[in-house]
């Protein structure tokens, strides 16, 4: 049988691959019953040929194919693209050999659901999307992680750590391990000192603090970024993206769509939709649109030379309290 396993959380995706492999061939993996190939390096017909050869050591064999670019919306091609024999793969999908399974393995969500190969796997094989953990699942995973390490972490520190890591399990594992090595009792200031924020997260933090009425905190984040010579126009673009998502999510939610439906319609990750729905409790979609218009206007005035970028953005933050958002 042919399987297609994909998702944007590599650690979780890899774990699901391990479970599937063990289900198919057990835990006794060797060079005869398990083969890993890259679709960017090995032509399709050679992959199918490998699958058509029975294992010498066990009744079942698994071929894991990484980088299956032909199942994505990417325009990327390989050097041997003109010689690719997709018909060979299509025939195998419809009539697989009983002693071999092919698992297409992709880190990402840019799937081409219209491709003929995807549709054939959907009909004759199995397709599984590995969904990223929800906010509650991430929090439970984090608590379990620190408990196993016998490390205490305050509620504020945990909240900040999860914010800074987003829904990236790999980043969480790396940062949590670093914190555990630093101290057996982690406080908020430890997370703020040791776990860095990406520019996008800083822009999100400014926007969220402004919506919550924490003008001073938003201003402090901006001043820290100014010290690092971050350009205000980049922050404006990122904040505009946040409020644009907020207006779109607000509209779709008002049409009765749930989180998953909104994520699919907007082709964004469900986690971003979840955050937007949460922030719609702080600001209405109408006010989000008004804020978005102000950001567009500020961007125009900066780029046309009417206002200094840093001064203009500082005024936007300091005057935000005059805008009634609820």
Q: Which residues of the chain have pLDDT under 50?
A: none
Task: Name the CATH architecture for the domain at 2-129.
Answer: 3-Layer(aba) Sandwich (3.40)
pLDDT digits (tens, 9 = 90+) for 188-219: 999 988 988 778 888 888 998 898 889 999 99
Residue written as tokens 């492999």? 21
What is the structure's pLDDT at 228? 82
> Would you say the C-alpha torsion 175, 179, 185, 188 has a positive or negative sign?
negative
Q: Rounded CA gap, 254 and 8, in Å?
A: 28
Residue written as tokens 């840093």? 310
C-beta separation of 68 from 39 below 8 A: yes
Q: Which two tokens stand for residue 221?
A: 């984040």
Which residues in the chain are classed under CATH 3.40.50.300? 2-129
Which residues in the chain are classed under CATH 1.10.8.60? 135-194
| Radius of gyration, CA atoms only, the chain | 24
What is the structure's pLDDT at 310? 92
Q: Rounded CA gap, 62 and 229, in Å?
A: 51
CB proximity list for 314: less than 8 A, separation 6 or greater: 219, 222
Which regions of 50-92 does DSSP assign to beta strands (E)?
A: 61-66
135-194 fold: Helicase, Ruva Protein; domain 3 (1.10.8)
What is the structure's pLDDT at 168? 73
CB proximity list for 238: less than 8 A, separation 6 or greater: 199, 200, 203, 204
What does residue 24 show for φ and ψ, rounded to 5 degrees? -85, -40
Which residues in the chain are classed under CATH 1.20.272.10? 199-322
pLDDT digits (tens, 9 = 90+) for 81-132: 999 999 999 999 999 999 999 999 998 888 999 999 999 999 999 999 887 6
Residue written as tokens 């829904």? 167
CATH 1.20.272.10 applies to domain 199-322: yes
């Amino acid at each position: 049988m042919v399987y297609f396993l994909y998702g944007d959380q590599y650690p979780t995706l890899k774990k699901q691959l391990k479970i599937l492999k063990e289900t198919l061939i057990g835990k006794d993996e060797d060079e005869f019953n398990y083969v890993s190939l890259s679709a960017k390096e090995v032509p399709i017909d050679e992959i199918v040929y490998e699958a058509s050869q029975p294992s010498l050591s066990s009744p079942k064999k698994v071929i894991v194919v990484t980088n299956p670019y032909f199942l994505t919306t990417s325009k990327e091609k390989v050097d041997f693209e003109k010689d690719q024999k997709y018909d060979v793969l299509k025939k195998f999908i419809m009539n697989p050999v009983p002693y071999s399974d092919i698992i297409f393995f992709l880190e990402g969500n840019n799937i081409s659901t219209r491709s003929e190969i995807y549709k054939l796997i959907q009909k004759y094989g199995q397709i599984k999307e590995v969904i990223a953990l929800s906010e509650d699942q991430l929090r439970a995973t984090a608590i379990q992680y620190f408990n196993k390490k016998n490390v205490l972490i305050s509620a504020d520190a945990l909240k900040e750590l999860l914010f800074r890591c987003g829904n990236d399990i790999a980043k969480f594992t790396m940062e949590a391990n670093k914190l555990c090595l630093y101290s057996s009792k982690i406080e908020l200031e430890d997370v703020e000192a040791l776990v860095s924020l990406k520019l996008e997260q800083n822009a999100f933090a400014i926007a969220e603090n402004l919506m919550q009425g924490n003008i001073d905190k938003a201003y402090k984040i901006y001043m820290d970024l100014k010290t690092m010579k971050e350009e205000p126009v980049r922050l404006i673009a990122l904040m505009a993206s946040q409020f644009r998502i907020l207006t779109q999510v607000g509209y779709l939610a008002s049409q009765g769509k749930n989180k998953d439906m909104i994520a699919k319609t907007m082709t964004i990750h469900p986690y971003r939709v979840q955050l937007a729905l949460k922030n719609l409790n702080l600001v209405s979609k109408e006010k989000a649109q008004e804020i978005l218009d102000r950001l567009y206007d500020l961007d125009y005035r900066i780029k046309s030379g009417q206002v200094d970028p840093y001064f203009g953005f500082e005024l936007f933050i300091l005057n935000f309290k005059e805008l009634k958002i609820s």
